[in-house]
C-alpha cells in the first residue's frame, strides 16, 4: 500500500511541541494527529456523577485563582487553603519583584528563547511560578497540581525535568534549581534539586523525544486498553480504539437477560 493511503499518514507535521503534546504523541500518534494536525474538536463530555465541573476545568479555575491571589487584590479560594502559608510567602516575594507568574516560555529548535507567538517557536511551556534568589544563582520552579499524585510520579518528574532544563538554558547564571510540585488538594509537596551539571544532562533525552514529534509524518493508531480508556476520540473520530473493558458487552447482555428473567 502506498504510504499516503496508510492509516495515520500525513503530509503535515506537528511543528509546535510541548510536554502535554509529548505525552499524547507517545501514548498514541494517531491521537496526536487528530488533535494537533486535523484539529478534530473533542466531543461534548458528560459531567462525572456528583460533579459540577470537569477536572481540567477545575484545574484551570484553581490555577487562575492562585495567580490572581499572588498578584494581590483577591482572597485565597478554599481549594488553596492547605497551601495558605506558601501562597502568602509567594505573594510577598512577588511584591519584591522576585517571582514570575504564568510565564509563557517558548524556544526555537536551538533551544533559544523566542516569543510565544513567534514563527520559529518550537517548544512551548507555561510555568505557574518561578522564584529567583536575591543573588540570582538559585531558582524555584513551582507547578500547582489539583489532581492526584499517586500514579503520576513519572509524568510529573519528566515535566519537571523539561522545565528545569529550559530554565537553566534561559538563565545562564543559575547554578541550582529546585522543582516543586504543590498538590493543592492533598496538602503535599514534592521537590527535586538539580545542579546545572545535573540538569543539563537531560538535554539529549528530551530534545530527541521532542524532535520525534515535529519530524513525524506517520501517525499509526496504537489501540490498547490503557491508551484508549480516556481518549476523547474513541468510538467517534477514531474507529481503531478498543474498549477498556472487553467483556463489557457480554456483562451487559447478561444483565439484560437476567432482568428479562430469561435466565
The 10s digit of each residue's pLDDT in 157-184 is 999 999 999 999 999 999 999 999 999 9
pTM score, two decimals?
0.85
pLDDT at 111: 96
pLDDT at 249: 42
Tens-digit pLDDT profile for residues 12-59: 999 999 999 999 999 999 999 999 999 999 888 888 898 899 999 999
pLDDT at 247: 41
Q: Are residues 126 and 167 in the same domain?
A: yes
49 falls within a domain = no
- Per the model's pLDDT, the better-predicted residue between 262 and 38 turns out to be 38
Q: Are residues 10 and 40 in the same domain?
A: yes
Last residue of a domain, one of 179, 197, 214: 214
Domain containing 32 equals: 3-44+216-259
Q: Are residues 80 and 192 in the same domain?
A: yes
Q: Are residues 118 and 158 in the same domain?
A: yes
pLDDT at 122: 98
Q: Are residues 124 and 196 in the same domain?
A: yes
CB of 146 closer than 8 Å to CB of 185: yes
Amino acid at each position: 500500500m502506498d504510504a499516503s493511503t496508510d492509516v495515520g499518514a500525513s503530509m503535515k507535521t506537528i511543528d509546535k511541541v510541548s510536554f502535554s503534546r509529548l505525552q499524547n504523541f507517545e501514548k498514541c500518534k494517531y491521537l496526536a494527529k487528530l488533535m494537533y494536525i486535523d484539529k478534530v474538536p473533542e466531543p461534548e463530555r458528560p459531567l462525572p456523577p456528583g460533579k459540577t465541573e470537569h477536572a481540567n476545568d477545575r484545574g484551570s479555575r484553581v490555577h487562575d485563582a492562585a495567580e490572581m491571589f499572588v498578584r494581590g487584590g483577591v482572597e485565597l479560594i478554599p481549594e488553596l487553603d492547605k497551601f495558605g502559608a506558601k501562597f502568602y510567602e509567594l505573594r510577598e516575594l512577588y511584591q519584591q519583584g522576585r517571582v514570575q507568574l504564568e510565564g509563557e516560555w517558548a524556544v526555537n529548535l536551538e533551544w533559544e528563547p523566542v516569543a510565544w507567538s513567534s514563527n520559529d517557536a518550537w517548544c512551548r511551556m507555561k510555568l505557574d511560578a518561578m522564584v529567583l534568589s536575591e543573588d540570582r544563582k538559585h531558582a524555584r520552579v513551582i507547578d500547582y497540581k489539583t489532581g492526584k499524585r499517586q500514579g503520576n510520579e513519572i509524568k510529573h518528574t519528566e515535566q519537571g525535568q523539561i522545565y528545569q532544563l529550559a530554565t537553566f538554558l534561559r538563565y545562564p547564571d543559575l547554578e541550582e534549581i529546585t522543582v516543586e510540585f504543590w498538590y493543592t488538594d492533598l496538602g503535599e509537596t514534592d521537590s527535586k534539586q538539580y545542579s546545572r551539571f545535573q540538569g543539563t544532562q537531560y538535554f539529549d533525552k528530551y530534545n530527541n523525544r521532542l524532535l520525534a514529534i515535529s519530524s513525524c509524518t506517520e501517525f499509526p493508531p496504537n489501540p490498547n486498553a490503557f491508551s484508549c480508556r480516556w481518549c476523547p476520540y474513541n468510538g467517534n473520530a477514531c474507529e481503531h480504539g478498543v474498549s477498556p473493558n472487553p467483556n463489557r458487552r457480554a456483562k451487559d447482555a447478561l444483565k439484560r437477560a437476567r432482568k428479562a428473567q430469561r435466565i
